[in-house]
């Protein structure tokens, strides 16, 4: 393709053409415009641009490389690939900018403009191509570096998220947990546990709160410590919230605990008048009405009075008639039976009268 007329320099083979008369100011302006189109001016501009591009690319590459360790730990696999390509593009652009600055003029006859001009123009064209490549690499590095976090954010927000509350309830204890994937790293998830006693139309009370942070993969897998529930009938409501919205809710109805009375030890005082007072240590003694001492063979004796400590249902006193108590054999063991309105509760405790 032939050079455009305005890009050609006048040479001896071109006959001068007669133009319109020009003032001195117009001539000066014309010279300045022409200087802008001369190869030396244009190549100087290219070198200036190459130096600016080299400095900018160096700065961006240094920042990208310095942040790469932190970035890679937070990016997904796809995001890390884009980020790495961005750093690679910055490195290639840096190399191209340095290449453009290193290009020099070929040897030419200093006495011949016809020899110097083509070589200067050739260098200008070559540098222009190199600088365009360096500019393209710089642009690509910025684009790929931006796509990395964007791809990670899209991957960490899939259309369907597996999330939920986990709970294990046994023996009046509860172990709650959080199982969530697909979150943005660092997202806070809050699990609140409410108790309502009685289960319907009762007072709703917050009894526990657990807060967890999503890891670098956008995942939370957490099991809270176990804690005990009261013996009353109640309803538990577990609510999971993250990203400012309630995401899951589970409700459990816990029946009232069946309290089984039991004995741990029994000791009796010496007879005082017509009665003998015995001291019982056990658990859940509030429902007990009477204490029986049952031999392996023969008839049991029953207390005339049974009182549970008002402040501690693990302690109680039983009063026997002295006449019944005196009939106990010193060399025999008697089983301790706790009598309630529903049934007789046999225990593993045995009582032997003092010699």
Q: Which CATH architecture has domain 163-254?
A: Sandwich (2.60)
List the beta bridge partners of residue 292. 302, 337
**Which CATH fold topology does 262-351 show?**
Immunoglobulin-like (2.60.40)
* Per-residue pLDDT band at 14 (split at 50, 70, 90): very low
Q: Helix, strand or coil for residue 343?
A: coil
Task: Give 273 or 172, the one with higher predicted confidence.
Answer: 273
* Per-residue pLDDT band at 4 (split at 50, 70, 90): very low
CA 151 vs. chain centroid, Å, equals: 18
**Average pLDDT of every residue of the chain:** 77
Give the model's pLDDT for residue 42: 62
Task: Give 331 or 14, the one with higher predicted confidence.
Answer: 331
* Per-residue pLDDT band at 12 (split at 50, 70, 90): very low
Average pLDDT over residues 325-348: 89
What pLDDT digit, counting tens, does each position of 277-325 carry? 999 999 889 889 999 999 988 889 999 999 999 888 899 999 999 998 8
What pLDDT digit, counting tens, does each position of 195-220 carry? 887 766 767 888 889 999 988 878 88
* Per-residue pLDDT band at 66 (split at 50, 70, 90): low
To the nearest 10°, the Cα dihedral for 19, 20, 26, 30? -20
* Domain chopping of the chain, boundaries: 22-155, 163-254, 262-351
| Backbone φ/ψ region at 255: left (φ over 0), alpha (ψ -120 to 50), beta | beta
User: How far is residue 308's CA from residue 314's CA, in Å, rounded to a whole number?
Assistant: 8
**Quick one: what percent of the chain has pLDDT higher than 90?**
15
Helix H or strand E segment including 229: none
What pLDDT digit, counting tens, does each position of 242-269 carry? 877 777 888 887 776 677 889 999 999 9
Residue 48 has pLDDT above 60, yes or no: yes
């Amino acid at each position: 393709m032939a050079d455009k007329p305005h890009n050609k320099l006048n040479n001896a083979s071109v006959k001068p053409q007669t133009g319109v008369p020009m003032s001195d100011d117009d001539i000066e302006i014309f010279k300045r415009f022409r200087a802008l189109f001369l190869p030396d001016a244009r190549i100087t501009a290219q070198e200036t641009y190459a130096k600016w591009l080299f400095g900018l690319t160096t700065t961006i590459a240094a920042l990208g490389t310095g942040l790469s360790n932190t970035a890679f730990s937070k990016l997904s696999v796809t995001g890390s690939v884009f980020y790495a390509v961005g750093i690679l593009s910055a490195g290639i652009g840096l190399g191209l900018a340095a290449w453009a600055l290193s290009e020099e003029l070929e040897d030419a006859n200093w006495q011949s403009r016809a020899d110097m001009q083509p070589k200067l123009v050739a260098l200008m064209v070559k540098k222009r191509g190199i600088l365009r490549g360096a500019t393209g690499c710089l642009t690509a590095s910025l684009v790929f570096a931006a796509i990395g976090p964007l791809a990670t954010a899209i991957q960490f927000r899939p259309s369907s998220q597996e999330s939920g509350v986990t709970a294990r309830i046994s023996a009046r204890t509860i172990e709650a947990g959080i199982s969530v994937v697909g979150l943005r790293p660092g997202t806070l998830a809050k699990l609140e546990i409410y108790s309502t006693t009685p289960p319907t139309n009762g007072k709703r009370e917050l009894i526990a709160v657990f807060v967890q942070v999503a890891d670098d993969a956008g995942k939370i897998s957490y099991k809270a410590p176990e804690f005990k529930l009261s013996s009353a009938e109640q309803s538990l409501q577990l609510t999971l919230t993250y990203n400012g919205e309630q995401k899951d809710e589970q409700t459990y109805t816990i029946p009232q605990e069946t309290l089984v009375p039991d004995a741990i030890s029994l000791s009796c005082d010496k007879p005082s008048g017509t009665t003998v007072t015995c001291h019982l240590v056990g658990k859940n003694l509030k429902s007990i009405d009477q204490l029986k001492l049952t031999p392996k063979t023969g008839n049991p004796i029953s207390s005339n009075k049974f009182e549970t400590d008002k402040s501690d249902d693990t302690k109680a006193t039983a009063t026997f008639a002295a006449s019944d108590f005196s009939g106990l054999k010193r060399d025999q063991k008697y089983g301790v039976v706790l009598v309630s309105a529903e049934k007789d509760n046999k225990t593993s405790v045995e009582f032997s009268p003092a010699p």
